Amino acid sequence: MKSKSGVARYWRQYKWSNIFAMMKNNRADPDICDEDFSGRLMVITGGTSGIGYYTCREYAAHGARILSINRNREKSEQLCEELRRDFGTDCDYRIADFSRLEDAKKVGRELADMKEGIDVLIHNAGVYLTHKTLIPEGLEMTFVVNYLSSFVMNYIMKDKLKAQKRARVIMVNSEGHRFAAWGLRLDDLNWQKKRYTGLGAYGSAKMAQLLSMLILDKHLRGSFVTINAMHPGAVKTGTGKENGRFYNRFKSAIIDKMSRSPEISAQALYYLGVSNSIEGISGKFFNLTREEIPAPPALDMEAAERLWKESLRMGGLEDGEI
């Protein structure tokens, strides 16, 4: 889908009311859920820092068992020791680097083979890169880490989730999906034809995540498994630390000073994962805990179906039904 056709396709679908709602929601605090979650299992990617770390603590504080999937073994062990000490909860971890598709497949299969049910699955791992970086398979890293690896995991796990009857899947998305204002270039997901920018790549990956959610929601209908996406708020995290001294100085001096604590993101993720008030709600985008209408390209079912097929190919998965 080229940019010109994207403008023609989506221009009239944009509404100022949706933009104003986003601006209002950006200033709001999340709704709080105090419901107990004792003994139930929360699985999260990227749980050793930032939003993931505070989310692990939030769930553990309510009695949940934690399974965190991270790159670093030492930090994973420290996380579990801390959660056991502070909350007396069970904690385990798996090691996976989500810039490697084989790692995403491996951990997806391990989770799919688990006999116990997963109550909440949170896709939190992400990256922001100012320069184009390719993984060994030749795919662009921002797209892989922020979208394709979570797609691969969801695809491998979808039958297990349906079979266990009940679960909530939450994808940490972003209002940054709006940077892909005219949709995805489905003929150039690897940024070979157009000029790479950090914001463009990040927005496209988050847009892809929202589109794949539409199709996965169709797969899950008829079960009590839901999938939703959420913007975690403008919070201070370590995302982008890979981008060099200048970017990190700018982030520390400007961005971080305008950002809030990632604890609000953790509170929102607990609410979306546990609260009875959103039972059965699926395929939606939330700004923290406020349901919101995403950018028009994120609601394009035709683009979602095309992306689904292309993602299966890029992920090296067997072709499956839409």
> What distance in Å separates the CA atoms of residue 319 and residue 315, rounded to the nearest whole number?
10
Q: Encoding tokens for residue 109?
A: 């299969």
Residue 247 has pLDDT above 80, yes or no: no
Q: Encoding tokens for residue 69?
A: 């999937």
Confidence band of 237 (pLDDT split at 50, 70, 90) = low
| Cα distances (angstroms) measured from residue 232 to each of 84, 113, 186, 278, 310 | 26, 30, 26, 17, 28
- The percentage of residues in the chain with a pLDDT greater than 70, rounded to a whole number, is 89
Domain boundary assignment for the chain: 3-314
Residue 153 has pLDDT above 50, yes or no: yes
> What distance in Å separates the CA atoms of residue 93 and residue 48, rounded to the nearest whole number?
10
Spell out the residues 6+ positions from residue 201 whose beta carbon is closer than 8 angstroms to its own.
Answer: 129, 132, 140, 142, 143, 191
SS3 of residue 294 by DSSP: coil
Q: Are strands 91-95 and 65-70 parallel, antiparallel or unpaired?
A: parallel
Q: What is the pLDDT of residue 8?
A: 84
Q: What are phi and psi of 102, to 5 degrees?
A: -65, -35
CATH architecture group of domain 3-314 = 3-Layer(aba) Sandwich (3.40)
Name the residue among 111, 53, 125 with its Cα closest to residue 82.
53
Neighbours of 310 (CB within 10 A): 15
Neighbours of 244 (CB within 10 A): 11
119 DSSP 8-state letter: S
Q: What are phi and psi of 291, to 5 degrees?
A: -65, 140
Give the mean model confidence (pLDDT) for residues 198-213. Answer: 97
- The percentage of residues in the chain with a pLDDT greater than 90, rounded to a whole number, is 82
Give the mean model confidence (pLDDT) for residues 290-301. Answer: 97
Type of residue at 256: D
Spell out the residues 6+ positions from residue 79 whose beta carbon is closer than 8 angstroms to its own.
Answer: 47, 48, 53, 56, 68, 70, 91, 93
Q: Write the pLDDT tens digit of every residue in 257-285.
A: 345 788 999 999 999 999 999 999 999 99
Helix axes 149-163, 198-220, angle to 10 degrees: 20
Q: pTM for the whole thing? A: 0.91
Q: Write the pLDDT tens digit of every residue in 169-204.
A: 999 999 999 999 999 999 999 999 999 999 999 999
Q: Encoding tokens for residue 314?
A: 């890029």
